[in-house]
């Protein structure tokens, strides 16, 4: 199929933005449950059938399913959250509320997720649970980014970043750096976005963290494309693609090839662009 130039122009920036969204905010869909986890789930379900539902059992069940099936996880965490609310235990409300908001976000119920995040955030602040303040502010920031409320999003994301710097969890710092970069990217502030992606790469390399570093490289590359640093962009994107191949990350591969298509289109190498767009 021949890609017409006008059609590419119309979709270029939209698809490049979608590339970053899809690989920066990776939603867990449904994957096959391992035999070991299935045994845990069956054992816990037997316990629930025998002894009844309580906060702990429902929370554990939701946590198991969160890695495999968001819909089932939501069924359990909704009941768990109800138990927490009835108990009046603030920490239980915060913990179950956070998991529920994250699952709602994953199943694309952003408004509902935002409502829950906004409910648990002041409780977390009041009780000085800084870890959950950082989780909630990051979650709110991600949702506001998708709603194109970028300045508000950055306020929350930068707060999360400051808290995470104090706790020193490098992997969590890397996550929020990516999300800050995404917000700036969406504002077309590529010069501001790029350092956040690059810092995330630097942290992960220094700590030997492989999780989502392929994402960081592709994000860095597409920013460099729009900053007309094409050779560096291609190098970063290819690095991300090679890591994605070794990690078996099909989403990042698709995004990486599309980002190469965008880059070669900007270079007016249309045959190369078309080849990568069609991968």
Per-residue pLDDT tens digits for 38-91: 777 878 787 888 788 899 999 999 988 888 899 999 999 999 999 999 999 999
Residue 20 has a pLDDT of 52
Only one residue has tokens 């959950």, namely: 132
Please answer whether residues 181 and 200 qualify as being in contact, where contact means their C-beta atoms are separated by less than 8 angstroms. yes
Instruction: Tell me the pLDDT band of 230, cut-offs 50, 70 and 90.
Output: very high
In terms of average pLDDT, the best of 51-60, 120-129, 204-213 is 120-129
CA distance 53 to 80: 9
Q: How far apart are the first and last CA of the chain?
A: 12
Which residues touch 244 (CB under 8 Å, ≥6 apart)?
Answer: 214, 218, 250, 252, 253, 256
Q: What is the mean pLDDT of residues 139-151?
A: 95
Only one residue has tokens 């976000």, namely: 105
Looking at the predicted structure, is the pLDDT value of residue 168 above 90?
A: no
CA distance 157 to 50: 44
Residue 97 has a pLDDT of 97
Residue 209 has a pLDDT of 85
- The encoded tokens of residue 95 equal 């913990």
Looking at the predicted structure, is the pLDDT value of residue 126 above 70?
A: yes
Residue 159 has a pLDDT of 97
What are the tens digits of pLDDT across the range 99-123?
A: 999 999 989 899 999 999 999 999 9
Looking at per-residue pLDDT, the higher value among 38 and 157 belongs to 157
- Average of per-residue pLDDT values in the chain: 87
**Residue (of 258, 247, 274) closest to 22 by Cα position:** 258
Instruction: Tell me the pLDDT band of 201, cut-offs 50, 70 and 90.
Output: very high
Residue 32 has a pLDDT of 58
Residue 145 has a pLDDT of 94
Looking at the predicted structure, is the pLDDT value of residue 143 above 80?
A: yes
Instruction: Tell me the pLDDT band of 5, cut-offs 50, 70 and 90.
Output: very low
- The encoded tokens of residue 65 equal 């399913």
Residue 1 has a pLDDT of 35
Please answer whether residues 119 and 141 qualify as being in contact, where contact means their C-beta atoms are separated by less than 8 angstroms. no
Instruction: Tell me the pLDDT band of 35, cut-offs 50, 70 and 90.
Output: low
CA distance 3 to 184: 30
Instruction: Tell me the pLDDT band of 275, cut-offs 50, 70 and 90.
Output: very high
């Amino acid at each position: 199929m021949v890609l017409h130039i006008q059609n590419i122009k119309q979709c270029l920036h939209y698809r490049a933005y979608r590339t970053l969204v899809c690989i920066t905010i990776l939603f867990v869909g449904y994957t096959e449950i391992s035999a070991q986890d299935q045994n845990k789930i069956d054992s816990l379900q037997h316990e629930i059938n025998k002894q009844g539902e309580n906060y702990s059992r429902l929370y554990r069940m939701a946590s198991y399913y969160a890695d495999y099936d968001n819909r089932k996880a939501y069924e359990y965490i909704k009941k768990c959250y109800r138990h927490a609310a009835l108990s009046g235990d603030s920490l239980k409300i915060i913990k179950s509320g956070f998991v529920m908001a994250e699952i709602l976000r994953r199943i694309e119920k952003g408004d509902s997720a935002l409502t829950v995040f906004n409910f648990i955030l002041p409780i977390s602040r009041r009780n000085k649970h800084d870890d959950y303040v950082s989780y909630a502010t990051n979650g709110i920031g991600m949702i506001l980014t998708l709603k194109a409320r970028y300045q508000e999003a950055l306020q929350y994301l930068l707060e999360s970043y400051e808290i995470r710097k104090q706790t020193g969890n490098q992997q969590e710092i890397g996550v929020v750096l990516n999300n800050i970069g995404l917000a700036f990217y969406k504002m077309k502030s590529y010069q501001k976005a790029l350092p956040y992606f690059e810092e995330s790469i630097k942290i992960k390399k220094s700590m030997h963290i492989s999780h989502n570093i392929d994402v960081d490289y592709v994000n860095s590359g597409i920013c460099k494309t729009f900053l007309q640093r094409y050779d560096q962009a291609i190098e970063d994107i290819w690095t991300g693609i090679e890591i994605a191949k070794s990690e078996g990350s099909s989403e990042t591969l698709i995004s990486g090839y599309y980002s190469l298509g965008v880059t070669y289109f900007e270079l007016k190498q249309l045959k190369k662009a078309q080849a990568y767009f069609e991968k």
